[in-house]
């Protein structure tokens, strides 16, 4: 009744932005991401037969409030589905993210939690069921159960059984691809993704156009990834990031996640291309851009990020599947 799992975060090249079901976390559109190594979260879950409250420890401290509630809600789903009677759980989770990575750890955290909790409850490994469970913790987490390039198909069903992440290409498909996270701001973002996307769905007049376009882009990008065509993949990723942010700018009140330094990096990225270095940006719901490039240009791109205000640059590459590991 105990298992430990490790999972990597991911960065979306075609973003998920907006839910059609808030409780089950079902999106309006499909999205596509790269699972990122070497960053990882390791999570241990142990179910007991006792009654009582779950113990939730994250990065060395006892979790409280909404953070704890999200973990307990996911453990409750497992307790309901398990064949045997499961009591209170102990959950211990830790990430090896540099504090300055600027990437949300929640995707890796909920993917690792889903794999560990299902295994501890006696279920055999099943990436689809694990992805559906991870999605209940954080939407983007359903794309971190598998490695490489993963598409989250939006699905049509009301119960969410057809809304999960599916690997399109494995982690070894494009080994020279690099994703450099440029930490230009350490400020906690003012509006969390969850609230930002809800406000966008409810108030942005551009939302239906966003959802339609992103759905098409999550398919159109696949043959370019297959060919490892960085220019085509980068162009789609940049355009999709602009469109997500444009939809958010048009919300009421407007949502702007960009900082002046973010625009300075975006401008530098264009300048790099003018000089023949292949680099394209993407941007989640925060100010820190992630630059797509290849191993050969990594040092040049990292230097430019630093020159434009990145206090730290974290270099990632396609990472592997979430996996069971020995207890820490």
Q: Which residues bind ligand PMV (CB under 6 A)?
A: 12, 15-17, 31, 104, 106, 138-140, 193-194, 284-285
User: CB of 144: closest distance to ligand PMV in angstroms?
Assistant: 10
Query: What tokens appear for 89 in the block?
Result: 């759980």
Could you tell me which of 78, 60, 7, 58 has the C-alpha nearest to residue 37?
A: 7
Closest to ligand PMV by CB, 139 vs 320, is 139
User: CB of 137: closest distance to ligand PMV in angstroms?
Assistant: 9
Closest to ligand PMV by CB, 34 vs 45, is 34
Closest to ligand PMV by CB, 236 vs 272, is 236
Helix (H, G, I), strand (E, B) or coil at 253: coil
Closest to ligand PMV by CB, 119 vs 247, is 247
User: CB of 48: closest distance to ligand PMV in angstroms?
Assistant: 30
User: CB of 143: closest distance to ligand PMV in angstroms?
Assistant: 7
Q: DSSP assignment of 297-323, as one string?
A: GHHHHHHHHHHTT-SEEEEEEE----E
Strands (E), the chain: 2-7, 10-14, 19-21, 26-27, 31-37, 41-47, 55-58, 61-62, 89-95, 149-152, 165-169, 177-183, 280-282, 290-294, 312-318, 323-324
User: CB of 4: closest distance to ligand PMV in angstroms?
Assistant: 23
Closest to ligand PMV by CB, 104 vs 179, is 104
Strand partners, 316: 179
User: CB of 87: closest distance to ligand PMV in angstroms?
Assistant: 29
Q: DSSP assignment of 51-95, as one string?
A: -S--EEEETTEE--HHHHHHHHHHHHHHHHH-SS----EEEEEEE
The residues, any chain, with a CB within 8 Å of residue 148's CB and separated by 6 or more, are 34, 35, 167, 168, 169, 170, 171, 172, 173, 318, 320
User: CB of 192: closest distance to ligand PMV in angstroms?
Assistant: 8
CA distances 17 to 127, 140, 175, 178, Å, are 23, 10, 28, 24
* Structure-token match 């769905």, residue found: 201
User: CB of 106: closest distance to ligand PMV in angstroms?
Assistant: 5
Could you tell me which of 273, 59, 316, 279 has the C-alpha nearest to residue 183?
A: 316
User: CB of 293: closest distance to ligand PMV in angstroms?
Assistant: 20
Helix (H, G, I), strand (E, B) or coil at 129: helix
CA geometry: angle 110, 311, 144, nearest 5 deg: 20
On whether the CB atoms of residues 136 and 76 are closer than 8 A, the answer is no
Helix (H, G, I), strand (E, B) or coil at 245: helix
Closest to ligand PMV by CB, 40 vs 120, is 40
Closest to ligand PMV by CB, 36 vs 313, is 36
Closest to ligand PMV by CB, 143 vs 317, is 143
Closest to ligand PMV by CB, 3 vs 36, is 36
């Amino acid at each position: 009744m105990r298992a430990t799992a490790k999972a990597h975060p991911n960065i979306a090249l075609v973003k998920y932005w907006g839910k059609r079901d808030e409780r089950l976390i079902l999106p309006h559109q499909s999205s596509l991401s790269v699972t990122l190594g070497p960053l990882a979260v390791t999570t241990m879950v142990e179910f007991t037969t006792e009654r009582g409250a779950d113990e939730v420890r994250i990065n060395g401290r006892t979790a409280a409030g909404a953070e704890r509630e999200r973990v307990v809600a996911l453990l409750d789903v497992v307790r309901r589905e398990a064949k045997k009677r499961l009591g209170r759980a102990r959950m211990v989770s830790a990430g090896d993210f540099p504090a300055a990575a600027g990437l949300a750890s929640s995707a890796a955290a909920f993917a690792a939690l889903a794999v560990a909790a299902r295994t501890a409850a006696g279920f055999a490994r099943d990436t689809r069921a694990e992805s559906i469970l991870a999605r209940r913790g954080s939407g983007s987490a359903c794309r971190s159960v598998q490695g490489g390039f993963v598409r989250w198909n939006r699905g049509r069903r009301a119960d969410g059984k057809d809304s999960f992440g599916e690997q399109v290409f494995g982690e070894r498909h494009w080994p020279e691809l690099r994703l450099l996270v440029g930490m230009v701001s350490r400020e906690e973002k003012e509006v969390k993704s969850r609230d930002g996307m809800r406000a966008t769905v409810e108030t942005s007049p551009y939302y239906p156009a966003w959802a339609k376009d992103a759905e098409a882009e999550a398919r159109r990008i696949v043959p370019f990834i297959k060919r490892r065509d960085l220019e085509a993949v980068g162009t789609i990723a940049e355009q999709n990031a602009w469109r997500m942010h444009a939809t958010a700018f048009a919300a009421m009140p407007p949502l702007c996640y960009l900082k002046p330094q973010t625009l300075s990096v975006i401008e530098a990225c264009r300048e790099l291309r003018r000089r023949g270095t292949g680099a394209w940006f993407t941007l989640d719901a925060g100010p820190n851009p992630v630059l797509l490039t290849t191993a050969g240009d990594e040092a040049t791109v990292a230097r430019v990020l630093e020159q434009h205000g990145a206090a730290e640059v974290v270099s990632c590459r396609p990472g592997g599947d979430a996996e069971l590991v020995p207890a820490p």
